[in-house]
Structure 1
Amino acid sequence: MNHKHRKILHAIFAHPEPANLAPTDVEHVLADLGGELNERSGAKFSVTLNGHTANFHHAQHSLPKEEVRAIRKFLEGAGIDPVRDYPL
């Protein structure tokens, strides 16, 4: 995982949630973590990572804070710990 993706991963876990994360950057991080991304109907996509699957919405410009929280919860459930596994 490159440095930019590590910074984005740490931003997803930051408190408060950032309001300026680019959706494509987050998708690249999910893929870098080993997630399998699949397009769904409409503006949705699903991610499967470590046996966990979740559906997310394609945002136009930046991810809403609720979506960042949902991605964080999904990553925590999949066993991802950025501090332990991907230090800056």
Structure 2
Amino acid sequence: MNNRYRTILDSIFRTPTSASLVFTDIEALVLYLGGQVQEREGSRVKLILGDQLWRCHRPHPGKEAKRYQVEEAREFLLRAGVQP
């Protein structure tokens, strides 16, 4: 794993939960790990990694993921077998 994706992964698993992680970085990490990002209606998006799904909304008007979204991303990655 290159340094960019290692930094994103570390940010997701850092405690206390980060509120400055850009949501598109989470999407990029999922794609890097071999997953998919499917566009849905409006700001909805579905992330797929292995047999795990995470349905969520992209943050707007800002681009930073909310704390609860980072925590959901952490749970999603753990269910898919990704460890920091």
- What is the TM-score of this pair, normalised by structure 2? 0.90
Match of 2:78 among 70, 76, 79: 76
- 2: CA distance between counterparts of 1:19 and 1:79? 24
Aligned: 1:53 with 2:72: no
- 2: CA distance between counterparts of 1:69 and 1:10? 13
Give the number of aligned pairs.
82
Question: Mind listing any 5+ residue stretches in structure 2 that lack a counterpart?
Answer: none
Which amino acid in 2 is paired with 1:79? G
Deviation of 1:2 (Å): 2.1
Cα pair 2:27 2:47 within 8 Å, conserved: no
- After superposition, what is the alpha-carbon deviation per residue over 1:2-57, rounded to whole angstroms, capped at 9, x for unaligned? 20111111110111111100111111111101111100112011011111111121
- 2: CA distance between counterparts of 1:43 and 1:28? 17
Match of 1:64 among 66, 77, 84: 66
Identity of aligned residues (%): 34
SS in 1 for 2:9: helix
2:18 is matched with 18
Q: CA RMSD in A?
A: 1.0
- 2: CA distance between counterparts of 1:43 and 1:61? 12
2:34 is matched with 34
- 1: CA distance between counterparts of 2:56 and 2:3? 24
